[in-house]
Amino acid sequence: MNERLSSQRFLALPFGLWAVLFIVLPLFFVLWNGLKDVDGGFTLVHLQTVLQWEYLKALGLSVELALISTFICLVLAYPLCLILRERKESRGLLVFLLFLLPLWMNSLLTTMAWQTILEKHGLINMFLQLLGLPEVHIINTPLAIIIGMVYNFLPYMVLPLYVAINRIDNSIIEAARDLGANPYQTFRRVLLPLSMPGIVSGSTMVFIPALTTFVISALLGGNKVLLVGNIIEQEFTAAYDWQLGSALSMVLMVFIILNILLEAFTDNGETARQTKKGRA
Amino acid sequence: MEKELLRLERVNKSYDGRQILEDLDLTIHENEFVTLLGPSGCGKTTILRMIGGFETPDSGKIWFDGQDITNLQPEKRQVNTVFQKYSLFSHMDVAENIAFGLKLKGKSASYIRDKIKYALKLVNLDGYEHARVTQMSGGQQQRIAIARAIVNEPKVLLLDEPLSALDLKLRQNMQRELVKIKRELGITFVFVTHDQEEALSMSDTVVVMNQGWIQQIGTPENVYNEPENAFVADFIGDSNIIDGIMVRDKLVHLLGKDIPCINTGFGENVPVDVQIRPEDIQICAPEEGQFTGRIKQVVFKGTVYDITIEAGGFEWLVQTITGHEQGKEVGIKLAASNIQIMAKPESEDEEAVSDE
């Protein structure tokens, strides 16, 4: 008994080591850098700097674009997963894998590809010119960033959503119809609540990388649209202000932790919450 | 017989080129407990799904209370289904599951409350309103599924092998309860099963099916005692089915001997299937029997012994309450009234297949 316990501990050692080296220590350095003054004492000065207008604006814009991208991903992925659910055979799987394809491509490359599509003399404007239509200005706007985010992060929405929706047995849908629900009511009262875990984890998996990205915003936003990820990057690589960069990271982490808490809460409390809502 | 409620008229259905139902006619009456009985793939579930609205026949019509409902959406039919896998809504508690249909119909809160209370009492689960369905046993979940269906006051309740996932004891309890519920509600039950015992013990009418064809429709006693063909005889209960020749009315030539029976109207010198139930065979002293043979095997089954006797070139299955000695020389006696004569099948489709 004891022997087995100790061998289990021994096997867990690499993972413990991993957690300490790559999760706990970096986190500690961020906190340490963000909260220390020049003499190494405790200070909130860097956090106060974050409260300046330009940083708050970048943070607000980041949250806004991340939310919009998440929403678009959800709206695109949900009908797709419903369609894939209908045809569970191999053909459905093939389409499913097709939508996961961007995952296997380097996101830097795909984003640069979008750059050439969206830029001033890019593919879209060339096409519009051929048709004699006026040019559109997409590159270096928030719209370009949203397009890049949706393209890169859609698979993260499709994956958990597909799993959640596919798990719903067809007889559950038939039971709803049998009890008098029309197709919309079946969707609203049965399909949607039962797929909620997939919606929440998909949204989390899109929202967090969208909130923290700096590659997509750098390539598609130029220097015109600054997201919090870009500011943090510049603080570390250009301005060498590690303290401010860490403080900004800490603020960002609050959002991420909130998001993860929301997911954990939904996993446990989803049914209870639905219960209350149904009764009202 | 009560008034006709539901009628399937020349219904055809095939999947991927395979014919499931062919020109099927079936009439179901008010307040009838009808069981569709047959091996898997015989089309019984397809019939149920057509009545429920989840399948549409390729051709033919379905009439409900004088109206053509062949293409009506499931939510608009006055029938409700109890599914094989219960199919409860796991994101709702017991009361919400039961209230699902009533809320959609816009019933008042007090009406819904009363209905839930009544339904839970009916299925012996009072006080379970706020239990989580995922934490209930299979038997309890199935009762909730029944309660959820009947609160909508359907004219027909469809039950798709609802007891097949339950263990034996529970299944027998639920059989009795279903009959009780049926009596209380006074509505039509259409019950699908492959379990012949279930079909016999619960139904008013048994519809025996095989390969998309109805083999026989009758009361449980009817299909058990007077099977119309070898498939029905073989599928329902244990049977000895022997090739014979009907010599004339009330006399059949069986395994080299002329044996008196009570059937008439088959003609003279016509090949027939002869069915004798194992419990209808009497074991006697060798000199008293119509056939003599040796006991090959004795198996104790609890209430009866299954005894295999080799006599007249046939292996007879005999069921007795008392045990017999293996290897003993015995006689077999058949009462004329216990011999059932059946016409030979005309097509291969009706050929007997063995029980699952």
| Complex confidence, ipTM | 0.82
Residue in B74, B85, B90 closest to A177 by CB: B74
User: Which residues on B lie below 8 Å from A178 (Cβ)?
Assistant: 52-53, 74-75, 79-81, 149
pLDDT band at B150 (very low <50, low <70, confident <90, very high): very high
Per-residue pLDDT of chain A (280 residues; tens, 9 = 90+): 566 777 888 888 999 999 999 999 999 998 888 888 878 788 888 888 888 888 899 999 999 999 999 999 999 999 999 888 887 666 777 788 888 888 888 888 989 999 999 988 888 988 998 898 888 888 889 999 999 999 999 999 999 999 999 889 999 999 999 999 999 999 999 999 999 999 999 999 999 999 999 999 999 988 778 888 988 988 888 888 888 889 999 988 888 898 888 888 876 654 444 444 443 3
Up-side HSE of residue B11: CA atoms within 13 Å toward CB?
30
Instruction: Quick: pLDDT tens for B246-282.
Output: 998 899 999 988 999 998 888 888 999 999 999 999 9
* Amino acid letter, B208: V
Predicted local distance difference test score (pLDDT) of residue B347: 57
pLDDT at B35 over 90: yes
Predicted local distance difference test score (pLDDT) of residue A265: 82
Total Cβ atoms within 10 A of residue B41: 14
Residue in A180, A182, A193 closest to B91 by CB: A193
φ, ψ of residue A49 to 5 degrees: the values are: -60, -40
Residue in B54, B75, B91 closest to A180 by CB: B75
What rounded mean pLDDT belongs to chain B? 90
- Which residues lie closer than 8 Å to A39 by C-beta, 6 or more apart? none
Q: Which residue of A has its CA nearest to B82?
A: A175
User: Which residues on A lie below 8 Å from B101 (Cβ)?
Assistant: 179-180
User: Which residues on B lie below 8 Å from A199 (Cβ)?
Assistant: none
Q: What's the rounded mean pLDDT across residues B23-34?
A: 94
Q: How far is CA B321 from CA A179, B184, B280, in A?
A: 49, 37, 12
Q: How far is CA A54 from CA A59, A141, A228, in A?
A: 9, 18, 10
Range in A140-144, A238-242, B75-79, B180-184 with the lowest mean pLDDT: A238-242
How many residues are there in chain A? 280
Quote the CA–CA distance of A42 and A37 in Å, as a whole number: 6
φ, ψ of residue A179 to 5 degrees: the values are: -85, 5
Q: Which residue of B has its CA nearest to A267?
A: B91
The region that residue B202 occupies, defined by phi over 0 for left and psi between -120 and 50 for alpha, beta otherwise, is: alpha
- Which residues lie closer than 8 Å to A27 by C-beta, 6 or more apart? none
Residue contact A185–B104, C-beta within 8 A: yes
Tell me how close the Cα of A90 comes to any Cα of chain B, in angstroms.
Answer: 17
Predicted local distance difference test score (pLDDT) of residue B10: 93
Residue contact A181–B100, C-beta within 8 A: yes
